[in-house]
A and B are shown apart, each in its own frame.
Chain A
Amino acid sequence: EPEVTQTPSHQVTQMGQEVILRCVPISNHLYFYWYRQILGQKVEFLVSFYNNEISEKSEIFDDQFSVERPDGSNFTLKIRSTKLEDSAMYFCASSEAPGSAGGTDTQYFGPGTRLTVL
């Protein structure tokens, strides 16, 4: 069964450093997302991406964050200068197609990358 994959599974970085989290969405999916979950808190939406541009972002997704689809398979989240409060589990998700009814809206999640900022 196709699945979303994410690398690395755990990333430790120093405050102020740049990190790139990588995701490989399911191959025929067109809509991509990043969410994060701070320890003990809710899963929160960060950004959605379709047709090579951001379609929606939350207030968390400030200028320190960026997303990119550098090739036909990868989807990345970059944090330019990490802060302590960026420590969280970051989930990538993908879905088949926006704007369609039913199952194509279903978002499938990867296993997550645990980011620890020291």
Chain B
Amino acid sequence: AQSVTQPDIHITVSEGASLELRCNYSYGATPYLFWYVQSPGQGLQLLLKYFSGDTLVQGIKGFEAEFKRSQSSFNLRKPSVHWSDAAEYFCAVGRMDSSYKLIFGSGTRLLVRP
């Protein structure tokens, strides 16, 4: 069955430190891959996406993600975290088996220490 796994429920980093949030998917082919961020009480904002081509994609707010086909992973990174990055981050996959729905991971809550 198609699935998306975000193994870390919570991550705490210090402001200015680097960040990597993990995402793995289970699907036979390469799906479309997305990262969304949800601030408290807010909706889902698209950070970045991967459809094809260069496996390192740049997004908004200084985020980037790298698609690794061999590991079925699409990890999100940021070199220096800001306090305003504290939020919940969701990995999502789409375009599997001709479906347009997104399947979301369970999310990773990022806490930023001052």
Residues of A within 8 A of B (CB): 4, 31, 33, 35, 41-45, 48, 55-56, 58, 91, 93, 95, 98, 101-103, 105-112
In the assembled complex, B114 has its CB within 8 A of some CB on chain A: no
| Given A98-B100, A109-B44, A112-B42; 18 other pairs, CB 8 A cutoff | A35-B102, A42-B104, A42-B107, A43-B44, A43-B102, A44-B104, A56-B100, A56-B101, A58-B101, A91-B43, A102-B52, A105-B51, A105-B94, A105-B100, A106-B46, A107-B46, A108-B46, A109-B46
B44 adjacent to A45 (CB under 8 Å):
no
From known contacts A48-B101, A56-B100, A91-B43, infer whether A42 and B94 are also in contact, taking CB-CB under 8 Å.
no
Q: A98: which B residues are within 8 A, CB to CB?
A: 100
Considering the chains assembled together, what is the distance between the CA atoms of A103 and B32 in angstroms? 10
**B interface residue count range (under 10 / 10 to 19 / 20 to 34 / 35 or more):** 20 to 34
Instruction: Return 13 A-B CB contacts under 8 Å, by A number.
Output: A41-B106, A43-B44, A45-B102, A55-B100, A95-B100, A98-B100, A101-B52, A105-B32, A106-B46, A106-B49, A107-B46, A109-B43, A109-B46
